[in-house]
Amino acid sequence: MVISSDKPETLNELIHLRDSGFGRPHPRHGLRLLYWLACECISYDGSLATLECTPASGDYGFHYFENRENILPSPKEEYFYYEVGNLNKPNAQALPSYIRVNYYSNWADRNSDRVILSVGPWNIIDRIYVTEHQGKGRFDRECTYRISKGLMNIIKNLELSEFLRQMGEDPGIRQTNQAYTLSTVSNVASTSRAQAHITITGPEPRSQPQRSTGFWDYCTIL
């Protein structure tokens, strides 16, 4: 018999998400992960939310979440929990660069944030949760929250830079070990559906050396 956990607190407003501490401090990736889900990976039809990928196939590093510690209530019949956010997983490299930008830094918690979705037939989403991974399959119950569909809609209507600003991130922060500014990250996010292209500027082409004036330059051909 599976004993369900107490229901995690539901976050309905941006201020609730900010005060929860999820995805912070910088350079954790959870806020960017949540933004990507809201804007690019979930479609909305009124109160109906549908996942626009196939979590059972491992898209974007999605994988089955077993809920071994019972940090979440049991899902509804025919619904299953799927987790995303582990940047070590196969296919996680398909996540946008603004999520993965700090993965190769030396910061200890750069890969601790997770989003868990209860997904049913036809990829219909019942509930969305955020949590923190503590290593060795353990999750922090005290840092686990449910994200309301209303909050996801609020996030969906913001630019990434504005969302991060409202979450308390300094717009002037530079990403670790990268020449990324927050404005660059925001531009990548806003164009990612069309596949943003990064142009690498190389050195200026070298001009041809000037030819010295020789004897024949002074001769006139009659």
Per-position b or e across 63-72, b if 16+ CB within 10 A of its CB = bebebeeebb
Average pLDDT, rounded, for the chain: 81
The model's pTM is 0.76
What pLDDT is attached to residue 79? 98
pLDDT of 151? 98
Is 214 within a domain? Answer: no
Residue 158 lies in a domain: yes
Average pLDDT over residues 10-30: 95
**31 within 8 A of 14, measured Cβ to Cβ:** no
| 42: pLDDT strictly greater than 90 | yes
Structural domain contains residue 4? no
Q: Is the pLDDT of residue 197 over 90?
A: no
Range of the domain at 160: 9-194
Q: Is the pLDDT of residue 23 over 80?
A: yes
Residue 133, in any domain of the structure: yes
| Within-domain flag for 82 | yes
In a domain, 208, yes or no: no
Q: Compute the average pLDDT of residues 67-90.
A: 96
Higher pLDDT, 127 or 172: 127
Residue 130 neighbours by CB under 8 Å, 6+ apart? 20, 22, 23, 30, 34, 113, 114, 115, 116, 144, 145, 147
Kindly state whether residue 202 falls inside one of the protein's structural domains.
no
Give the pLDDT confidence score for residue 164 in this predicted structure: 96
Domain count, the chain: 1
pLDDT attached to residue 43: 95
User: Is residue 1 situated within a structural domain?
Assistant: no
What pLDDT, in 10s, does the model give residues 89-145? 989 999 999 999 888 766 667 899 999 999 999 999 999 999 999 887 799 999 999
How far apart are the C-alpha atoms of 83 and 126, rounded to whole Å? 14
Q: What is the pLDDT of residue 203?
A: 41
